[in-house]
Structure 1
């Protein structure tokens, strides 16, 4: 379990700010690894069900949801979209290496 992070408004030094950013980066990596593990499970399910690696309808829904979540918490929606699009493209490429490019869009 991680300790609570201080309110950024209370940080007075560059070193304190950088330490906070580094801690957040570590937490983000843990979450990214967890997301990656979920996506890895998807490959076997897609193979079994004949679903294509690329699912444009799903990708569009994820991007739309990501933009709204970003807006809800005060994150730049364009930044969030760019980050998620990069992840989606990366994972589709990985899935296509296993599944090929055929299948249905579910």
Structure 2
């Protein structure tokens, strides 16, 4: 099982943001807690179950063992991770 963090490319409130996703929701919530992200920040949407993280949090996540994935270089892996996050967001089993 793994936790993933994509490229920090989404500008908002003066920061660049990335998505923290995982193979399972339990892993995702546990890793977010490790980063100090409150559960209320969880986004359970049709676009995919994830937490938004700043570029600084992204770097910390990678240092703690999250797999950095790039929409530019790891397209197939990114598609698979996002598809899994979408299934999780709809309440489907991984």
Normalised TM-score (structure 2): 0.31
Q: Determine which structure has the larger strand proportion and give its number.
A: 2
Larger of the two Rg values belongs to structure: 1
More helix by share: 1
